[in-house]
Amino acid sequence: MLCANITKGWDSTDKKIYNQILRQADKVVYISKQYTTGCMQARNRHLVDSSGVCLCCRTNPKSGTAYTVKYAQRKGLQVINLAA
């Protein structure tokens, strides 16, 4: 789940690692061709909608992660917070 130009501005080492991960993925879903306001929220909602469990590391109750965890809870997913 990503935007097609997510690596724009990354250094070559990070791009190499990212591309290695992509090659091992069973599935890659692009939310948009480029980064937009809201594309990360759309990514997170798609991940929750496609999952049976929410595994997170949430320490800030007012973060994007916290929003996603609340969305997962509303959807009835079991939430496992590794930071708890």
Q: What is the pLDDT of residues 31-43, one digit of tens each?
A: 888 888 888 899 9
Q: According to the model, what pLDDT value does residue 76 have?
A: 97
Which CATH number belongs to the domain containing residue 73 in this structure?
3.40.50.450
Calculate the average pLDDT of the chain. Answer: 91
pLDDT of 9 > 80? The answer is yes
Domain that holds residue 65: 2-81
What average pLDDT does this structure show over 43-53? 95
Q: Which residues contact 69 (CB under 8 A, 6 or more apart)?
A: 54, 56, 58, 79, 81
How many distinct structural domains can be found in the chain?
Answer: 1
Q: According to the model, what pLDDT value does residue 1 have?
A: 53
- Cα separation, 52 vs 41, in Å, equals 18
pTM of the model: 0.76
Q: According to the model, what pLDDT value does residue 50 have?
A: 94
